[in-house]
């Protein structure tokens, strides 16, 4: 397993799940909603044809070597969990937040499908709602692979052949003791070899940054939203008509970043942070498909300035788009690729050991002094999907972007069908007025879409 995928496995813990949560709400309309057994039969039939869903992680003894992918003998039906939501105590928001607190144990099973039955009060759902959350270890899937998995499980075309993906990992036999012994014996050699490669690649990359050929934003001051979150989560799912986001040259991603910038500016000003605060968002960017990349996860974070100093929405959107372009050039540059890949040879035991030591000696202030990005904004286009579950059709797409040290609020934007969904994930302990922020963001989206796309802010939501 590549070190990048392994890090998602290492860092996903109960208080900080790094899993993906592809969430869809199926509308039964005038038909009877599927039973849990109906969903089990459907997923079981599809999953047997998807090799990506037939593997799990095999750790080396003492984590002295990076994990390897091994076969998962668990039958697909054991990956499904039934949730009766007819009691009325759950909403879509609370159900998703509850699931976002508990990661899968990828050494036992790398994916789980949660089936929420009987949920009421979901915007845009006319009949009975069935919520399906496809929870996948981030080590097994990035956003693109996650979309392909969902399509294979719930796409309208029946699966009649094996569904393979170009980046399916190589599967081997579990050898925990052998891997650990070999890694220990080779540790000095691998460390020396990794240092030669890392020093050379990092020097070349940093020279390009210093010369201005590549733009790599330096860390800046934190705000109140950068308090370290605890293990609690809340989610706000905001739905907007897709037509509200179209009609101009600005993309959905740029529109979302522009709106998030306006919302954070209003929120932080109300919190006494001042309206001259410089805010950046970490935006996951995919490595180009033509680039040789050993990891399943082909995304790397890019820090994008939201340019709060510009009051005009159109000017701010133009500046944000330019910042995205600069980061795209950096991400795909061979010097950045080489610097990122230079960690491939670094011994697992040293990586984990230094990580544990850094956490022990880190100041316990609850808020870092400097950050590269204040929040996360992910943007996933799933408008090409048309998902069904028996006679039910998916009408709403949602999900979460993970919280982490120095980041107590994140945003995930999904396009599906004729709806764009903006999902805010926050820690209620560090962001107690999260509902107020969600209202601010809803208004900011309306105002930003009106300015950039000329669409009415009174457009009816589903």
Residue linked to tokens 């999907």? 385
Nearest partner of 396 among 425, 435, 424, 422, judged by Cα: 422
CA dist., res. 3 & res. 438, Å (int): 36
Residue linked to tokens 């790397």? 300
pLDDT band of residue 358 (cuts 50, 70, 90) is low
CA dist., res. 240 & res. 436, Å (int): 18
Whether residue 457 is predicted with pLDDT greater than 70 in this model: the reply is no
Tokens of 193: 């070899």
DSSP state at residue 227:
S
pLDDT band of residue 460 (cuts 50, 70, 90) is very low
3-state secondary structure of 119: strand
Write the pLDDT tens digit of every residue in 286-337.
998 888 888 999 999 999 999 999 999 999 999 999 999 999 999 999 999 9
Packing angle between helix 348-361 and helix 3-11, nearest 10 degrees?
40
Give the rounded percent of residues in the chain with a pLDDT score beyond 70.
95
Classify strands 419-426 and 409-416 as parallel, antiparallel or unpaired: antiparallel
At a CB cut-off of 8 Å and minimum separation 6, what does 363 contact? Answer: none
Mean pLDDT value of segment 122-129: 91
CA dist., res. 259 & res. 457, Å (int): 13
pLDDT band of residue 462 (cuts 50, 70, 90) is very low
Whether residue 41 is predicted with pLDDT greater than 70 in this model: the reply is yes
Residue 352 CB neighbour total at 10 angstroms? 17
CA dist., res. 317 & res. 311, Å (int): 10
3-state DSSP helix/strand/coil % of the chain, to nearest 5 = 40, 20, 40
Alpha helices in 170-284 (DSSP H): 176-210, 252-270
Write the pLDDT tens digit of every residue in 208-230.
999 999 999 889 999 999 999 99
Residue 348's DSSP bridge partners are: none
pLDDT band of residue 38 (cuts 50, 70, 90) is very high
Q: Strand locations in 194-244, DSSP E? A: 220-221, 234-241
Give the rounded percent of residues in the chain with a pLDDT score beyond 90.
77
Rg from Cα positions in the chain: 22
CA dist., res. 124 & res. 17, Å (int): 29
What is the residue-averaged pLDDT of the chain?
91
Determine the distance from the C-alpha atom of residue 143 to the mean position of all C-alpha atoms in its chain, rounded to a whole number.
7
Whether residue 21 is predicted with pLDDT greater than 80 in this model: the reply is yes
Residue linked to tokens 């845009």? 124
Write the pLDDT tens digit of every residue in 137-185.
999 998 888 999 999 999 987 776 888 888 899 999 999 999 999 999 9
Mean pLDDT value of segment 363-383: 86
| Angle ∠(197,199,200) on CA atoms, nearest 5 | 65
Encode 210-232: b = buried (16+ Cβ within 10 Å), e = exposed.
Answer: eeeebbbbeebebbbbbbbbeee
Q: What is the pLDDT of residue 362?
A: 56
Tokens of 74: 């668990």
Query: Rounded to the nearest 10 degrees, how much is the dihedral formed by the CA atoms of 449, 259, 95, 379?
Result: 90
Determine the distance from the C-alpha atom of residue 200 to the mean position of all C-alpha atoms in its chain, rounded to a whole number.
31
3-state secondary structure of 347: coil
Alpha helices in 344-453 (DSSP H): 348-361, 434-453
Q: What is the pLDDT of residue 360?
A: 60
Write the pLDDT tens digit of every residue in 235-277.
999 999 999 999 888 999 999 999 999 999 999 999 988 666 7
Mean pLDDT value of segment 402-413: 94
Nearest partner of 206 among 303, 358, 333, judged by Cα: 333
Residue linked to tokens 């003791």? 177
Mean pLDDT value of segment 86-99: 93
CA dist., res. 2 & res. 15, Å (int): 24
């Amino acid at each position: 397993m590549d070190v990048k995928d392994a890090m998602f496995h290492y860092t996903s813990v109960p208080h900080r799940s790094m899993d993906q949560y592809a969430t869809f709400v199926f509308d039964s309309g005038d038909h009877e909603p599927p039973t849990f057994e109906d969903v089990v039969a459907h997923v079981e039939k599809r999953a047997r044809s998807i090799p990506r869903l037939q593997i799990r992680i095999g750790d080396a003894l003492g984590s002295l070597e990076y994990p390897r992918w091994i076969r998962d003998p668990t039958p697909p039906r054991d990956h499904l969990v039934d949730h009766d939501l007819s009691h009325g105590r759950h909403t879509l928001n609370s159900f998703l937040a509850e699931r976002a607190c508990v990661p899968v144990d990828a050494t036992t099973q790398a994916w789980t499908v949660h089936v929420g039955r009987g949920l009421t009060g979901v915007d845009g759902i006319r009949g009975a709602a069935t919520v399906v959350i496809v929870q996948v270890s981030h080590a097994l899937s990035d956003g693109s692979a996650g979309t392909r998995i969902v399509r294979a499980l719930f796409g309208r075309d029946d699966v009649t052949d094996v569904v393979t993906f170009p980046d399916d990992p190589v599967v081997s036999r579990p050898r925990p003791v052998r891997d650990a012994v070999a890694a220990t014996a080779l540790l000095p050699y691998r460390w020396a070899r990794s240092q030669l490669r890392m020093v050379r690649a990092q020097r070349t990359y940093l020279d390009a940054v210093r010369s201005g050929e590549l733009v790599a934003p330096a860390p800046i001051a934190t705000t109140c939203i950068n308090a370290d979150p605890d293990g609690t989560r809340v989610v706000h799912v905001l739905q907007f008509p897709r037509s509200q986001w179209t009609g101009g040259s600005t993309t959905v991603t740029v529109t979302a970043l522009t709106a998030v910038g306006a919302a954070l500016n209003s929120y932080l000003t109300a919190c006494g942070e001042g309206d001259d605060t410089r805010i950046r968002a970490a935006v996951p960017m995919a490595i180009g498909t033509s680039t040789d990349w050993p990891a399943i996860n082909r995304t790397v974070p890019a820090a994008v300035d939201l340019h709060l100093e510009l009051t005009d929405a159109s000017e701010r959107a133009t500046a944000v788009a330019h910042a995205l372009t600069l980061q795209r050039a950096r991400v795909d540059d061979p010097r950045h690729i080489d610097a990122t890949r230079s960690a491939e040879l670094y011994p697992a035991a040293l990586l984990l050991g230094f990580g544990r030591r850094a956490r022990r000696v880190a100041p316990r202030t609850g808020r870092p002094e400097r950050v590269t990005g204040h929040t996360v904004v992910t943007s996933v286009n799933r408008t090409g999907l048309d998902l069904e579950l028996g006679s039910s059709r998916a009408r709403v797409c949602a999900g979460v972007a993970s919280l982490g040290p120095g980041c107590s609020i994140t945003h995930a934007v999904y396009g599906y069908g004729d709806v764009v969904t903006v999902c805010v994930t926050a820690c209620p302990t560090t962001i107690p007025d999260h509902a107020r922020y969600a209202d601010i963001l809803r208004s900011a989206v309306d105002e930003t879409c009106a300015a950039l796309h000329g669409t009415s802010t009174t457009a009816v939501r589903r």
